[in-house]
Structure 1
Amino acid sequence: MNLWYRRKMPTASSHRRFALSAACASAILASTLVVPTAFASAPARGIEAPRNGPTAQSCASGVSTYVHDVSDDSDGVLRKFLDWDPLTGNATGSLHDTGVSAPLDPYSRFFTGGHSIIYVVTGEGALKTFKDNTASGGSLLTPVRDYGGDWNTYGTIWSGGGGRIFALSHAGSLDVFSVASPSSGSGAITKVKTVAATNPAVIAMESANDVWAQGSKIYTLRRGIADRLGEVKEWTYNEAAGAAPFGSASVVVTGVGTKTLTGWSPGPGTIYTVGTTPDHSGVASSYTGTTDLMELANRDVGGGIHGDVHADVAACLASPPADAKPVLGSAPPEEPAPQAVSDDSPDPAPQNPAEFTGKFTLGDGSPGAGLPVRVEAIDVTSESSDESELTTLGTAVTAADGTWKVALPATLPDDVRQAAAANGGAINAVAHVDGQTGSGQVMRGTDFVVAAPASAPATARALVASAAEDDAPSKLRPVTDAMGQESEQPNEVQTAYSWASRDELNSLDTLGERALPEYQSDTSGIPQGDPFIVKGVDTKSMKVHPMDGGCDKTKSKVIDTQIRYTAVVEGHAAWDSKASVDYDTKMSTNVEIAVKTGSNWTIEGSATLGSAMSVTTGYTNMGPHFAKQWRVPIEYKKIRETWKCNYGKNTYYRYRIQGGKYKVPNSGAVGKYGKDVRNKDGSAGYYKSPASHRAWVARGSYFQLTKNRSTKFSGAVSTFGIKLGASTQYDKDHKQRITAGSKTNARHDIWGKNDKVSGKPGVFYSF
């Protein structure tokens, strides 16, 4: 149990959970109190205990591990992981996210008792038991018994799977309960002992950051503080008549870190720890050993683990067969699927890449018709802090459906031609629409677009085509009073509190391809309210007509720069395989652009980054049980824009964040690992995928993607406190590759996210 979680300040709706109750939890216990003469661990889940002690065949592998996720963006959910090789602490493997979950509100607490039994203390204090039947196709939380009572008397409750429940009261004493028929989850619960609050072991439990058990062994975790190393201590519980309940403790793990707050054990000889809060990374580490201090087995055994964690504790552990393929429950027979082959058909040519196109709408989605459009090149902004005027590439008027198009000039202006040459041939531009409502409210639409001359390299034309796949209508948004003045820009300390910056701390890719919020704040969480409402008036559906006098050309000035590592590709290698990704020779990526409209930021299109690189970067033959994004350093600019409207009477300011060159910071890495995406792999994702997306890789062979574009990473980068998305064009220099091993127990399966692997999958996953 994560003690931070139980000790955090209660909200008004959770007072009942944390209130000290005069009712005794033992009032719910109807059976006669029986004090056993000895305490022993129960046999492993679902296995008969051998008469002469456990054997390797009777011990457990594939132990279920549960996480109560109560993170900021969760309404409370219990997630199930599969600990495939707990004996070694998954030294060469990982905790597998099964994709199985069930709602469990944030005001409830849970612990496990072995035998797939899950105990839940509700927000009202009632104790309930559930059975995890997912291995046989059933529910994760199948109700067994409602014991009722008020277990909120206890601040921390846990079990080691040996028929005992340990409950640390708010008053400091430790109550121990016996569970009749622990394998059923329905037996009577009887209090058998109370250990005084003055007992050294109980004092250690009360002051620990976390406490859990495995059989008769109770563990206390204290995180490191300043120069004090964090550690895990082991206490042995004893119920023998006349014996002390606890002897002296032994330290079993040291150096767990200053951010480690949670621990658990799937069975004897293995301990896992994770820093869940306030670290946010959620990366678990494992330790193994049977005598003295345990040794670090795997520093990164799983990611995205946020909240309270308990395992379905086994009495003894064993490693699975060397050729066994990790799967939840019984592995179904292999389904028919083609062998993975590459698509050798030529890339389709984009529709007229030498043309800028787009569509403007009102806030309610109806067309913004009859409005003047100005298209200006944005890569011509000076590298210095001097203000410069953007170069106009053409003008148009929106059609009745809001669409518009502007062809590239037959002869490009010199500054645009030079910028395009430095960008691999692609030309980035911004399209503006300016208008006003009948009441005089100024409205402006912005769309960042890309084009390339017919003579541009194929890579540039391909980037134009991939940018067009994301082309969505851009809304006309109200120009508020705040845009009539320069705003003071937040510093990095302030932007660290933004939603984007906090999400960046998470080791797991929490966004995938989900759309980013329409509005972002660079100093706090997701903005609330409706920005289309100005001074109490909703502007979303107001008719917009051209502005009197229009607006002049945009002037821009670089006011700040940051180098941020940006996800450009990812690789996957689950069971018996290796992953490689390449990002070589040149850039080939589209990165979104954010603009600050009023007080909030919005994504309004993207820029193509096709500039030359002087390095080769990526990773090779990583795995098995490996999946991470690869990031490269890109320089981002914050640019202040100035323009005047209504015959020059009104001056407006706006800010944009735009990606630019590949640039390695001083003493920085040429590329680095990004978010953990192992949760996309494995049996859960494979059996949920469309059958047409599946294929397999022959033993000892490889398969790679070298055409079309990658999946779009919604959370590719956080810069200036704002999250931007990105996608990369696959080619001979940018690819995702998997190499299958030689194990013969099962074939190596892969599947495309968006299409068959020989089509436009975006990325392929591994099982």
Structure 2
Amino acid sequence: MNHRSYVRGSRHLHSAACAVALAVGTLTVPEVISPATAVAADCVDSTNVYALETEPGTARKDLSPRTLRKYVDFDPQGGGANGPLLRTEYTATVPYGTKVVSLGGGQFYLFSKTGVRLYRDATAEGGSLLTFVAEYNTDPAVWMGYEKIFAVSGRLWTIDKNGLLKGFMDGRVLLGKRTFNPAPGMPSETDPLVKEIRDAWDVWSAGGRVYTLTSGTVKEYAPTGLFGSGPLTSKVRATGLVDAVQAWGPGRGTVYTVTRPTDHSGIVRGYTGDDALASSNPDVMSGLYVEEVLSETPNCLAPASDGKPVVGAPVDDSDVPPAPVEPETDAGAEGPQVVSGVFTLGDGEPAAGMGVLIEAVDPTAQAAGGSPLPALGTAVTAADGSWSFTLPDELPGPVDAMAAENGGALNVTATAAGTTSAGVPMIGVDYNTAAPAGQGGDSRISAFGVAAGGERHTTQLIPAAVPGAAFRVPTAGQEASTYAAQEAASSVGPERPSPVWQADNGILGDNHNPYLVEGVDVRSDRVMPYASGTCYTLKSFVASQIAYTVVAEGHAHWDTYATVDYDSKLSTAVDVAVSAGGNWKGSGSVSLGSSTGQATGFTSQGPYFGRELQVPIQYNKYKHTYYCGGIAKSSYQSISAARYSIPPGGPVAKLGRDVRWKDGASKFNASPKANRAYIIPGGYFQLAKGKSSKFAGAVSAFGVSLGATTTYDREHKQRITAGKRTNARHDIWGQKDRLSGNPGLFFSF
């Protein structure tokens, strides 16, 4: 196969620049990678880019650990128009406090209070991203006092707090340490243009020139006179880049910018031009959460290759079969009329002998005064905490109507409640879905697909609020500071599930203990069920809001195009969050199958495309009071999805976060071989059966992050179409199963 792999050596790599704040920490050593494609004697078609990343949601960005990560630019000459900027797994975990400068050729100066050292990128040989080379005999306090340090043609330029420019270069080795010597041929230290460079938002160099970004303007500075010792000249290369906060350049004709890292968008835009810069790619990648970018600048850049870009270990796809026409039928389960689960104590031990109340749920109800949930029956937990309930063939008319309005799916709650020996009310609520027999064959099959599909939830009992307790109402500012809000603001889909517990008024600490009641931990306390009379739940509407929710993903890497259809009706199950006083915890899901009256999605997006599809869904917050024997025993709140609802003036759907990081060579190498297949040039593959994998952080509703799952059918599909190139194969793979089974999602390489 014709694959492109990135630059591994340093013989063509020269000065690149910018001081950043970090310090050396633990190093991660990934796999060895293959060599780059040689294009011309002194030209390369891919370059290395190093980014100091910050983690979204970090409370103290000035004190939190950083990650220095290696990226590869597969189209530095074209500004990302013909090739991707791909993230590697080569990283160094680093704290704050040290200035780092890229000298080029994979070499870095690190300036800290304890000394000045030189490191190099040794990942090409299987070593560390920051491998120690030498220490310098110099006063580190002097270097820490410089406001700007950057490299230009192998020399270090420094600007102090008074705006004076000085130049340095490597000297001799003395007593095992290197020295710095003054660099000859520098511009005047008092050159008036030096102040502009000192005050710039970002500074970098390429081809012996210095570049700055300030308030949306890119300027180029060039030394004049013999050996560059004359005054600096400047010219404007671009204006109006209003959302750019940082920039770098792999060569004189290319500039990349990064947008708004404070809200975690991190969108990289490309610009090219010998004089005035013009947009080459407004969406090279998303999610570059950076404090600084340090780019290699080779002597010469070549046009992008048309091979598949490879980052990481060499790819062997010789035994990959052709893609099937479509997945097989869904895997079997207990049956769509059966709901089941497991209740446990807070410590995970079974909650045996607990009565379980099964009630029907209308997720669209908005009765402010409260109304009892329709009771369907009861069950009792076994010794292992498990329970099961089969819906009767005939349901009350209002309950049957709920299912009919929801595409054949009936949402139910299973509630187990009681008190500890100390009188602490405990409750467990599991939201589940079934398909009543009266809905007919097609509706039941569709509803069953949306439902849990026979999966048994495990639900922990949690401390409940006493009846009549006042629940907190977070302010808009508090909701904006939550994990959910920061996840929603990210431009990249999450790599891990949301936390088990979340606050709607901030971010919970790692030591959060929801079972601490008045200083006593009740997670292991025995819970005694209520024994008096009939039990029921009174549900009261509190508030609603509309939030765009992830319902699908489309992926298209090299020479492929993605299409996603989400038409006519909802086909998604969304997590429900429950709060028994303060913080929130996921507790099952509600399935939505009502008609939307809209056809939406995206068509033929790519190549190097991977995005979520989000649709507007209304979310309701409710207060619930649990009664037994006519006496209110406990209360809790819930947040659940209700219906498709377009906000006034809003889109019917929109592209969500960037999920291109799930595609590419390294992810293909890590995938199970049984899940792989390829598409012939001009061919396609689509998922139109089964359930998607769960989308973590699919929505932020009332300050809480919820996940979601979509069922594929004739109106809800993920599709990929291959281009006509024949110099490499179009490989795809299923996330959780083979492509002819129930893969959930499929990805692209």
- Is the CA contact 1:582–1:735 (under 8 Å) kept in the aligned structure 2? yes
SS in 2 for 1:370: coil
- How far the C-alpha of 1:80 sits from its partner, in A, is 1.7
Q: State the AA in 1 paired with 2:659.
A: V
SS in 2 for 1:554: strand
Looking at structure 1, the residues matched to 85 and 96 of structure 2 have their Cα atoms a distance apart, in angstroms, of 23
Cα gap change, 1:253 to 1:355, in 2 (>3 Å)? same
Aligned to 1:253: 238
Q: How does 1:521-532 map to 2 (within 5 A)?
A: 521-527=503-509, 528-532=511-515
Aligned to 1:33: none
Looking at structure 2, the residues matched to 744 and 210 of structure 1 have their Cα atoms a distance apart, in angstroms, of 42
Q: Which runs of 5+ in 1 are unaligned?
A: 18-44, 49-54, 224-229
Within the alignment, does 1:209 sit opposite 2:185 as a pair?
Answer: no
Note the alpha carbon deviations across 1:729-748, whole angstroms, 9 max, x for none. 11222111111111122111
Cα gap change, 1:206 to 1:597, in 2 (>3 Å)? farther
SS in 1 for 2:457: coil
Q: State the AA in 2 paired with 1:88.
A: G
Looking at structure 2, the residues matched to 672 and 355 of structure 1 have their Cα atoms a distance apart, in angstroms, of 36
CA RMSD after TM alignment: 3.0
Q: State the AA in 2 paired with 1:131.
A: R
Cα gap change, 1:301 to 1:241, in 2 (>3 Å)? closer
- How far the C-alpha of 1:544 sits from its partner, in A, is 1.1
Cα gap change, 1:645 to 1:221, in 2 (>3 Å)? farther
Looking at structure 1, the residues matched to 187 and 352 of structure 2 have their Cα atoms a distance apart, in angstroms, of 77
Aligned with 1:519 (options 501, 517, 523): 501
Looking at structure 2, the residues matched to 428 and 5 of structure 1 have their Cα atoms a distance apart, in angstroms, of 53
Q: How does 1:161-560 map to 2 (within 5 A)?
A: 162-179=153-170, 189-192=180-183, 199-223=191-215, 230-238=216-224, 240=226, 243-247=229-233, 249-257=234-242, 259-291=243-275, 293-307=276-290, 308-321=292-305, 323-328=306-311, 332=315, 334-343=317-326, 345-379=328-362, 382-456=365-439, 457-458=441-442, 460-461=444-445, 464=448, 467-468=452-453, 471-480=456-465, 484-511=468-495, 514-527=496-509, 528-547=511-530, 549=532, 552-560=535-543
- Is the CA contact 2:430–2:459 (under 8 Å) kept in the aligned structure 1? yes
Task: Single out whichever of 432-441 and 170-179 deviates more from structure 2.
Answer: 170-179
Q: How does 1:120-199 map to 2 (within 5 A)?
A: 120-122=110-112, 124-135=113-124, 137-147=126-136, 149=138, 150=140, 151-160=143-152, 162-179=153-170, 189-192=180-183, 199=191
Cα gap change, 1:585 to 1:445, in 2 (>3 Å)? same
Looking at structure 2, the residues matched to 222 and 646 of structure 1 have their Cα atoms a distance apart, in angstroms, of 70
Looking at structure 1, the residues matched to 148 and 405 of structure 2 have their Cα atoms a distance apart, in angstroms, of 61
Cα gap change, 1:313 to 1:712, in 2 (>3 Å)? same
SS in 1 for 2:573: strand
Cα gap change, 1:242 to 1:299, in 2 (>3 Å)? closer
- Is the CA contact 2:359–2:377 (under 8 Å) kept in the aligned structure 1? yes
- How far the C-alpha of 1:255 sits from its partner, in A, is 1.2
Looking at structure 2, the residues matched to 463 and 47 of structure 1 have their Cα atoms a distance apart, in angstroms, of 52
Note the alpha carbon deviations across 1:195-247, whole angstroms, 9 max, x for none. 77754322212222111111321112113xxxxxx211111135836943422
Looking at structure 2, the residues matched to 187 and 460 of structure 1 have their Cα atoms a distance apart, in angstroms, of 76
Task: Single out whichever of 651-660 and 400-409 deviates more from structure 2.
Answer: 651-660
Within the alignment, does 1:113 sit opposite 2:103 as a pair?
Answer: yes
- How far the C-alpha of 1:188 sits from its partner, in A, is 5.6
Looking at structure 1, the residues matched to 37 and 605 of structure 2 have their Cα atoms a distance apart, in angstroms, of 36
Higher strand fraction (1 or 2): 2
Looking at structure 2, the residues matched to 625 and 433 of structure 1 have their Cα atoms a distance apart, in angstroms, of 49
- Is the CA contact 1:163–1:180 (under 8 Å) kept in the aligned structure 2? no
- Is the CA contact 2:558–2:607 (under 8 Å) kept in the aligned structure 1? yes
- Is the CA contact 2:482–2:503 (under 8 Å) kept in the aligned structure 1? yes
- How far the C-alpha of 1:603 sits from its partner, in A, is 0.5
SS in 2 for 1:154: coil
Looking at structure 2, the residues matched to 210 and 550 of structure 1 have their Cα atoms a distance apart, in angstroms, of 71
Within the alignment, does 1:102 sit opposite 2:83 as a pair?
Answer: no
SS in 2 for 1:201: helix
Q: State the AA in 2 paired with 1:240.
A: L
Looking at structure 1, the residues matched to 610 and 192 of structure 2 have their Cα atoms a distance apart, in angstroms, of 44
- How far the C-alpha of 1:517 sits from its partner, in A, is 0.8
- How far the C-alpha of 1:299 sits from its partner, in A, is 1.1
Cα gap change, 1:672 to 1:85, in 2 (>3 Å)? same
Looking at structure 1, the residues matched to 212 and 533 of structure 2 have their Cα atoms a distance apart, in angstroms, of 69
SS in 2 for 1:762: coil
SS in 1 for 2:402: helix
Cα gap change, 1:265 to 1:468, in 2 (>3 Å)? same
Task: Single out whichever of 423-432 and 663-672 deviates more from structure 2.
Answer: 663-672
Q: State the AA in 2 paired with 1:90.
A: G
Within the alignment, does 1:605 sit opposite 2:588 as a pair?
Answer: yes
User: How many matched pairs?
Assistant: 707
Looking at structure 2, the residues matched to 47 and 707 of structure 1 have their Cα atoms a distance apart, in angstroms, of 41
Cα gap change, 1:414 to 1:459, in 2 (>3 Å)? closer
Looking at structure 2, the residues matched to 546 and 101 of structure 1 have their Cα atoms a distance apart, in angstroms, of 52
Looking at structure 2, the residues matched to 136 and 750 of structure 1 have their Cα atoms a distance apart, in angstroms, of 29
Q: State the AA in 2 paired with 1:246.
A: L
Cα gap change, 1:431 to 1:47, in 2 (>3 Å)? closer
- How far the C-alpha of 1:153 sits from its partner, in A, is 2.6
Q: State the AA in 1 paired with 2:469.
A: Q
Looking at structure 2, the residues matched to 673 and 642 of structure 1 have their Cα atoms a distance apart, in angstroms, of 39
SS in 2 for 1:684: helix
Cα gap change, 1:245 to 1:463, in 2 (>3 Å)? farther
- Is the CA contact 1:381–1:558 (under 8 Å) kept in the aligned structure 2? no
Q: State the AA in 2 paired with 1:669.
A: P
Percentage of matched positions with identical amino acids: 38
Looking at structure 2, the residues matched to 562 and 242 of structure 1 have their Cα atoms a distance apart, in angstroms, of 62
Looking at structure 1, the residues matched to 42 and 671 of structure 2 have their Cα atoms a distance apart, in angstroms, of 34
- How far the C-alpha of 1:523 sits from its partner, in A, is 1.9
Looking at structure 2, the residues matched to 551 and 147 of structure 1 have their Cα atoms a distance apart, in angstroms, of 80
Within the alignment, does 1:90 sit opposite 2:90 as a pair?
Answer: no
Q: State the AA in 1 paired with 2:241.
A: V
- How far the C-alpha of 1:726 sits from its partner, in A, is 0.4
Aligned with 1:747 (options 729, 737, 743): 729
Aligned to 2:693: 711
Looking at structure 1, the residues matched to 179 and 325 of structure 2 have their Cα atoms a distance apart, in angstroms, of 61
Aligned to 2:637: 655
- Is the CA contact 1:46–1:115 (under 8 Å) kept in the aligned structure 2? no
Note the alpha carbon deviations across 1:486-510, whole angstroms, 9 max, x for none. 3242343431121111121110112
- How far the C-alpha of 1:398 sits from its partner, in A, is 1.2
- How far the C-alpha of 1:455 sits from its partner, in A, is 4.7
Aligned to 2:611: 628
Q: State the AA in 2 paired with 1:146.
A: E
SS in 2 for 1:633: strand
> Normalising to structure 2: TM-score of the pair?
0.88
Looking at structure 2, the residues matched to 729 and 240 of structure 1 have their Cα atoms a distance apart, in angstroms, of 70
Cα gap change, 1:394 to 1:238, in 2 (>3 Å)? farther
Looking at structure 2, the residues matched to 242 and 158 of structure 1 have their Cα atoms a distance apart, in angstroms, of 16
Aligned to 1:591: 574
Looking at structure 2, the residues matched to 617 and 203 of structure 1 have their Cα atoms a distance apart, in angstroms, of 52
